[in-house]
Amino acid sequence: MSLHDMEEGMEYLCQRCGNCCRWPGEVPVSDAEIARIAEFLGMEQDDFIARYTDVRLNRSGLTLVSRPNHECIFLDGIDCRINPVKPVQCAGFPNQWNFPGWRQTCEAIAVPRREGGIVES
């Protein structure tokens, strides 16, 4: 995980545009995340895995299913259906990880970094 294009002393507040949920790419989920999301949805873990996950391209684990247009299976308009239990990759963007050029597609706004830590999306 690395950080790019961050202004000194600033952090970024998510504006819930949903763009990061529409980008092509994987959303890896750990065993603990699978357990949490399945419980949140009231599903058995095996059913959740069968319905909502695929094997990652590098076969190192599981990722959430993407729709044919590349958006995440849990995106509902601009809302995340599993927001309270979304994977760490989702919660950590863009303050804990991002990529070169992320600010061209992410609508998060820069605010002075607060005492006590970095905000999650």
Complex with ligand SF4: residue 114 or 119, whichever CB lies closer: 119
List the one residue from 19, 49, 96, 103 that touches ligand SF4 (CB under 6 A).
Answer: 19
Binding positions for ligand SF4, 61-120, rule CB under 6 A = 64, 72, 74-75, 80, 82, 86-87, 90, 93-94, 106-108
List the one residue from 3, 17, 65, 111 that touches ligand SF4 (CB under 6 A).
Answer: 17
Q: What φ, ψ does residue 41 adopt, rounded to 5°?
A: -85, -5
Q: How far is CA 9 from CA 13, 59, 79, 112, 119, in A?
A: 13, 38, 29, 6, 13
Complex with ligand SF4: residue 50 or 78, whichever CB lies closer: 78
Whole-angstrom distance, CA of residue 72 vs CA of residue 37: 14
Nearest approach in angstroms of CB 60 to ligand SF4 is 19
Query: What is the enclosing helix (H) or strand (E) of 80?
Result: strand 79-80
Q: What φ, ψ does residue 61 adopt, rounded to 5°?
A: 165, -160
User: Which residues contribute to the site for ligand SF4 (CB under 6 A)?
Assistant: 14-21, 27, 64, 72, 74-75, 80, 82, 86-87, 90, 93-94, 106-108, 121
